Amino acid sequence: MDTTCKYPIGTKFKSPGKHPKICTVTDFHVTRNLAGELVRSCYVATHEFMGQTITDYQVPSATIARNLITP
SS3 61: helix
Model confidence, pTM = 0.84
pLDDT, tens digit (0-9, with 9 covering 90-100), for 12-28: 999 988 999 999 999 99
Provide the pLDDT for residue 10.
94
Residue 19 gets which letter from DSSP? S
Return per-residue pLDDT of the chain as tens, 71 residues: 566 788 999 999 999 889 999 999 999 999 999 999 999 999 999 999 999 999 999 999 999 999 999 87
Measured over the CA atoms of residue 34, residue 36, residue 37 and residue 41, the dihedral's sign is positive
* Count of CB atoms situated within 10 Å of the CB of 69: 12
Residue 28 near residue 43 (C-beta atoms within 8 A): yes
Alpha helices in 3-71 (DSSP H): 61-66
* Domain boundaries along the sequence of the chain: 12-66
